[in-house]
Structure 1
Amino acid sequence: MYDFNQLRSSIPDGQVLLPQDEGYDASLRRWSAACEKRAAVVVKPTCSKEVSVAVKSAVAAKIPLTVCGGGHSSSGTSSSDGMVIDLSNMRNVKVNPAEMTVRFDGGCLWEDVDTALERHGLATVGGVVNHTGVGGLILGGGHGYLTPLHGLTIDNLIWAEVVLADGTIVEVSEEKDADLFWAIRGAGANFCVATAFLSRAFRQGKVWSGTLAYPSNKLPDLVAVANELHGRHNSEGHCLALGIGYGPDGVTHGVSAIPCFQGSEEDGKKYFSKLLSIEAIANNTAMMSTAQMNTLLNPVFGHGIRRLMGSGNVTMPLDCEALLRTAEMFWTFCDARNGMGKSILALEIFPTDKIRAVPQDATAYANRGDYYDAVTAFGWEDESLDADVRQFNRVICAQIRESNGYRAGFNENESKAPVGRYINIEADSISPQDAYGVNFMRLRELKMKYDPHNIFHKWHGIVERAQ
């Protein structure tokens, strides 16, 4: 049994929590209650030096190590029965309006970044749920409502401070340790603990957005709108999210839409006129900041229950009959089980030009394709349903890909074909080839350089875990 008292003395400003300590149980809580584990020790550092001490301690103790930022993963990667390095005490944000940049700590939530930037009339590419942690989203190559204008989070990352498996603290950028900077942009959790980021910021005015709710029989109308919008030239970054789920009662089938228009309310209503012509049950659209827009999905993705997510993808135009079959498949499964009314299937429909403008091998992220993500997000409370939900999630994600999706690797002559998976939200571990595609071989070489003993192994691993 490893004695963590020495670790306590080496982390003077942070916390080292053992099972008998006050605050330990609270530190285990995650966005998905299904992902909580009893850790041997939870370390809550306040700076990169304390992170380094924690990493060295876990390696010396020969216990598993993982990192928790926002704790939002439904794959369980932010929990461990060994050591958890919880970054929640590291949430500083510094905006530099003159240089149009924002520096933020690895324990920040997107809410911290959004609100700090909003005070200066700025924004950056972040998540669409603002209680998500910044680190997991960025290191996996995240996107959000501003991606049509500015690309992925990693395409706007200028610099990062990271702690390696041997405890070394390094700064990485295109100029400093470019190989590692390449690797962390898409596969970062396999290489390091990211303790700080510097990203580009952009002038950002208010947008016209909000949530529109409809009865389930309006799904064909929403599909028609989505297909019509896809056919337009859209260089202004307007986008649309479609949801298939339930009403507030958790029983009534419903569908929804979140439009985002970069401009005035009048122009937004003209642009989305066909969407607004569909009779809605509820409509809370208005002019709002992007920080406010990033709260719209918070009620759907609240904490406190069991969660599981997965990804498929859809190509345009949408096949209405195929999507209706998928919706019925989704509703039939959820209706047959108690307490599944907080589940949703969502399509993120926005121009991918900015994503695809960056070559597939320019960063470790290998999912730059001409298709849209389909996201499954199941919510329930009964632990006995865990295995059932996990299996169904695999089935419905496969069904989405087969019926209306891009088939990864279908063109054997295209050596740099995208992988067709948004690995940030995958609950199941994916093979390295399926996760990283054309970038896998380079990642494997870099893994042997920076983490030869596979200390960081919890997230779509690049190599088999050493025994």
Structure 2
Amino acid sequence: MAAEHIGRLREEATVMRIDGFRGRLITGGDADYDSARAVWNGAVDRRPRLIARCAGTADVAAAVRFARDHDLVIAVRGGGHNVAGTAVCDDGVVIDLSQMRAVSVDPADRTASVQGGALWGDVDHETQAHALATTGGIVSHTGVAGLTLGGGIGFLMRAHGLTVDNLLAAEVVTADGSILRASADDHPDLYWALRGGGGNFGVVTTFRFALHPVGPLVLAGPVFWAADHTTDVLRFYRDFAAGAPDELGTVVRLGTIPPLPAIPDELHWRPAIAVVCCYAGPIADGERAVEALRRLRTPLVDLLAPKPYTAHQSATDGTVPHGWHYYWKATDLVGLSDDAISVITDHAYRARSPRSYAVMFHMGGAVTRVPHAATPYAGRDIAHNINIDAVWLPADPEEHAAAETAWARRFFDALQPHRAGSVYVNFLDADDDAGRVREAYGDRIYRRLAEVKAKYDPDNTFRHNKNIRPG
């Protein structure tokens, strides 16, 4: 009888009105249900009972209370960009912030107020009107909320810290439907947990960020070399990155050359290694900082040039569009030893799909100067992390998808001797990474996060995520 009663309540949840809700409720009977439940990773196919598309913070609080009253699983959608697809659930309620994308900039005190459904392109568009920016993702359609709550790495982090290092305050709807402000002065334990602990502690409806002078023009772009030169490029890059000024952010990409408009047609899909740069300072200083990199061997193409920061931030959007299928494996690296470079060189180009690639981020700089205890983000002493991205098209046959997934796993396994024992939580994928959440934090930080979780979400209401259980 209890099971039947719960079943009836769940059926009623698809038609019941949410008290105090002014947004839009979407169910399976609506024409746009399929588009509303779709997320960035097209491999994720889940069917929620109800999508509560919120118009504001009060709607979020009402939706949280409704889901709890009806014993429904909650998924929280900001940008919907997480590879594991945690923004959508089966048989539950999606609290959808996608219409909450407002960004307000105060250029006098160099801060921005950003709603929880905003994308990084929204933030860059508004902040660059004042030649300001904060550390955001490297793809403009990445969601602000997910990237921030996991730590936030990007081209500006070496100069200005992680995204969480620039988070000044947050408005949060907690598991009981309360609306709290979290900052260094208000609920400081919650503020600490939000700065890297993921979506475990509530729904953040507004973020307040510190901004820094950046742009509007920056020296930025990729330099590509043929795949045959990968070992030489990585050995050079190891020393180049170690001596780079904090203003220089770099990302290494290994795969095929994407068919970007600025790249000659004859180079499209050719296996290659690229070092993508962004210098957050004067153009002339940036030219000097990258001079040795540009002289290395003979690049296939050099696209490093002064350009608008917003153009650089969105330059590769088309290489990872919504709807393609993605599978990730990732780890922090002890370093770029010759043996590690050999593993990377040996595995990077073995994918069957020309869309698959590996990407390596150079950390350091301002990231290392924040005390370890200041935030849950644990990888502050790591010089490099790597993300292996298997990518295939929705129309590809199942064996193609299986081959790409297997490639990523073999690559990851081969890196075992070079792993640092930590991982960036935002890079964790689906079921086979579920046991690695503790790895993202280490035992001490994880225990502290579990204590905060027990205070603000003792029933683990927010569990459809990289979950930290109350402790």
The code of the aligned residue for 1:136 comes to G
User: How many Å separate the matches in 1 of 2:402 and 2:445?
Assistant: 32
Offset at 1:389? 4.0
TM normalised by structure 2 equals 0.88
The code of the aligned residue for 1:346 comes to V
The code of the aligned residue for 1:347 comes to M
The code of the aligned residue for 1:384 comes to E
Residue by residue over 1:59-94, the C-alpha shift from the partner in whole angstroms, topping out at 9 and shown as x without a partner, is: 112121111111111112111011111111100000
Offset at 1:311? 1.5
Among 51, 55, 71, the residue aligned to 1:42? 51
User: How many Å separate the matches in 1 of 2:288 and 2:369?
Assistant: 29
Offset at 1:51? 0.5
Q: Residues 94, 312 of structure 1: CA spacing in aligned structure 2 closer, same or farther, 3 A cutoff? A: same
What SS is found at the alignment partner of 1:440?
A: helix
Offset at 1:391? 4.9
Correspondence 1:436 to 2:436: no
Among 363, 388, 398, the residue aligned to 1:384? 398
**Correspondence for 1:423:** 425
Among 441, 451, 468, the residue aligned to 1:445? 451
User: How many Å separate the matches in 2 of 1:432 and 1:284?
Assistant: 37
**Correspondence for 2:146:** 136
- Residue identity over aligned pairs, in percent, reads 30
Q: Which runs of 5+ in 1 are unaligned?
A: 409-419
User: How many Å separate the matches in 1 of 2:244 and 2:303?
Assistant: 27
Residue by residue over 1:316-363, the C-alpha shift from the partner in whole angstroms, topping out at 9 and shown as x without a partner, is: 4x234532433332322x23xxxx11111011124x132222222222
The code of the aligned residue for 2:457 comes to D
Among 29, 41, 59, the residue aligned to 1:20? 29
Offset at 1:436? 2.1
Alignment of 1:276-287 (within 5 A): 276-277=294-295, 278-287=297-306
User: How many Å separate the matches in 1 of 2:228 and 2:405?
Assistant: 28
Among 401, 411, 414, the residue aligned to 1:396? 411
Offset at 1:186? 1.1
**Correspondence for 1:258:** 276
The code of the aligned residue for 1:220 comes to T
Q: Residues 300, 225 of structure 1: CA spacing in aligned structure 2 closer, same or farther, 3 A cutoff? A: farther
The code of the aligned residue for 1:91 comes to R
User: Is contact 1:241–1:346 with CA below 8 Å preserved after alignment?
Assistant: yes
User: Is contact 1:313–1:401 with CA below 8 Å preserved after alignment?
Assistant: no
What SS is found at the alignment partner of 1:225?
A: helix
User: How many Å separate the matches in 2 of 1:389 and 1:163?
Assistant: 39
**Correspondence for 2:462:** 456
User: How many Å separate the matches in 2 of 1:398 and 1:389?
Assistant: 14
User: How many Å separate the matches in 2 of 1:311 and 1:223?
Assistant: 18
Residue by residue over 1:242-269, the C-alpha shift from the partner in whole angstroms, topping out at 9 and shown as x without a partner, is: 1110134775322112122234444433
Correspondence 1:364 to 2:370: no
Offset at 1:450? 0.9
What SS is found at the alignment partner of 1:2?
A: helix
**Correspondence for 1:172:** 182
User: Is contact 1:223–1:320 with CA below 8 Å preserved after alignment?
Assistant: no
The code of the aligned residue for 1:38 comes to R
Among 254, 266, 289, the residue aligned to 2:308? 289
Q: Residues 10, 185 of structure 1: CA spacing in aligned structure 2 closer, same or farther, 3 A cutoff? A: same
Offset at 1:230? 3.0
Alignment of 1:158-169 (within 5 A): 158-169=168-179
Q: Residues 266, 279 of structure 1: CA spacing in aligned structure 2 closer, same or farther, 3 A cutoff? A: farther
What SS is found at the alignment partner of 1:331?
A: coil
Correspondence 1:342 to 2:321: no
Correspondence 1:306 to 2:349: no
Offset at 1:275? 1.8
User: How many Å separate the matches in 1 of 2:232 and 2:456?
Assistant: 51
**Correspondence for 2:341:** 323
**Correspondence for 2:289:** 271
Aligned residue-pair number: 443
User: How many Å separate the matches in 1 of 2:454 and 2:284?
Assistant: 55
Alignment of 1:107-126 (within 5 A): 107-126=117-136
What SS is found at the alignment partner of 2:374?
A: coil
Alignment of 1:46-195 (within 5 A): 46-81=55-90, 82-195=92-205
User: How many Å separate the matches in 2 of 1:201 and 1:327?
Assistant: 38
User: How many Å separate the matches in 2 of 1:358 and 1:308?
Assistant: 31
Q: Residues 248, 378 of structure 1: CA spacing in aligned structure 2 closer, same or farther, 3 A cutoff? A: same
Offset at 1:388? 5.1
User: How many Å separate the matches in 2 of 1:424 and 1:360?
Assistant: 18
My pick for the range that moved more, 45-54 or 207-216, is 207-216
Residue by residue over 1:400-423, the C-alpha shift from the partner in whole angstroms, topping out at 9 and shown as x without a partner, is: 2424x42x2xxxxxxxxxxx2111
Residue by residue over 1:195-239, the C-alpha shift from the partner in whole angstroms, topping out at 9 and shown as x without a partner, is: 0000001111322111222211121232133123134262x4212
Q: Residues 231, 424 of structure 1: CA spacing in aligned structure 2 closer, same or farther, 3 A cutoff? A: closer
What SS is found at the alignment partner of 1:119?
A: helix
User: How many Å separate the matches in 2 of 1:271 and 1:401?
Assistant: 33
Q: Residues 378, 432 of structure 1: CA spacing in aligned structure 2 closer, same or farther, 3 A cutoff? A: closer
User: How many Å separate the matches in 2 of 1:314 and 1:377?
Assistant: 16
User: Is contact 1:7–1:57 with CA below 8 Å preserved after alignment?
Assistant: no
What SS is found at the alignment partner of 2:231?
A: helix
What SS is found at the alignment partner of 2:228?
A: helix
My pick for the range that moved more, 423-432 or 394-403, is 394-403
My pick for the range that moved more, 161-170 or 219-228, is 219-228
Offset at 1:97? 0.5
The code of the aligned residue for 2:222 comes to T
User: Is contact 1:431–1:461 with CA below 8 Å preserved after alignment?
Assistant: no
